Amino acid sequence: MSEYAVELTDLSKYYRSVEALHPLSLNISFGEVLGLFGHNGAGKSTLMKLILGVLKPSSGQLKVLGYCPRTNSDHDYRSQFGYLPENVSFYEHLSGREVLRYFARLKGHSLAHADALLEEVNLAHAADRPVKTYSKGMRQRLGLAQAFLGEPKILILDEPTVGLDPVATRDFYQMVDRLKTSGCAVILCSHVLPDVENHIDRAMILSAGRKLALGSLDELRLQAKLPTEFNVSGLSSSELSTALNGYQSISTVLETTSNASRFTVPTPEKMIVMKHLLANQNVTDLQVTPPSLEALYRYYISDFHSQSAESQGVGHE
């Protein structure tokens, strides 16, 4: 068994003259969930298809579960992959159970596991109805059950929560958390950033095929130096200034009412500001929110675009 589930060394992909993936090096560990983010056309699907072995790299090296996914067609190797494409489609006249059992046979997994998964994605009640009668969310749940078949060692999910209701979304993330605990490496691509935030170990942001950021959210927060937001209740704005004991000079007020304020402070000063506020007996509520994944995403993307514009002389006299 190799040390990493996925190992990329200077991997690139061109479609004729279009550089869809600039040379990228990246290791993904077993039991790690990597969030893959980027605007439309950033190269996310290209990267996922390279890892699946569907596309041939233009240059560089790639190992998945220790082997090159394009040259290893061994059945036991392939059956360790789980994949949910962006647009799931199934044989419409088959029932959900028939579809899932069909995939279970293809992958060499037990039919009992297929039936258990139908329960897990909450489709048991519709398992024997033709897929053509399924709603969008039900089709997506069937797609997820197909991807989760056979406890994969590498799971690649392209927009997994599209069409899912909030309960199904929560159940989905519980399944991801469980697979992660069992040592599965997960690559999760989503545009619904607030949902993903609590379930990934690292985030990678791509733009025009280039890696703009890679790291845990804490690492990216440190790197981006984005401020932390505070919501304080129980103090007027002048009482807040006194409570902050001099730190009001580094804070930026976003909103204030007669007895509540929303403001930001530089993240390295977060603890000291919290201590001052907690020591104040008039404070009735305090919420501290670190920069969200969405804020980080916006930061890295706009930073990249402003650098590109600068290098092309856009926006300058």
Ligand X SMILES: Nc1ncnc2c1ncn2[C@@H]1O[C@H](COP(=O)(O)OP(=O)(O)OP(=O)(O)O)[C@@H](O)[C@H]1O
Which residues contribute to the site for ligand X (CB under 6 A)?
15, 18, 20, 38, 40-46
Identify the three-state secondary structure at position 247: helix
d(CA 236, CA 250): 18
Sheet of strand 285-289: strand arrangement: 252-256, 260-265, 228-233, 285-289
| Minimum separation from the CB atom of position 187 to ligand X (A) | 12
138: phi > 0 → left, psi -120 to 50 → alpha, else beta; which?
alpha
Q: How far is the CB of 294 from ligand X (least distance, A)?
A: 16
CB of 42 to ligand X, least distance (A): 4
Whole-angstrom Cα distance, residue 308 to residue 304?
Answer: 6
Residue 143 burial (C-beta neighbours within 10 Å; 0-12, 13-18, 19+): buried
Burial 13-42 (b: 16+ CB within 10 A, else e): beeeeebbbbbbebebebebbbbbbbeeeb
The nearest distance, CB 308 to ligand X, in angstroms, is 15
| In the complex, least distance from residue 206 CB atom to ligand X, rounded to whole angstroms | 7
Closest distance of CB 16 from ligand X, Å: 7
- Do the strands 59-64 and 4-15 form a parallel or antiparallel pair, or are they unpaired? antiparallel
Nearest residue (CB) to ligand X, 2 versus 302 = 302
Q: What is the C-alpha to C-alpha distance for residues 243 and 266, in angstroms, rounded to an integer?
A: 17
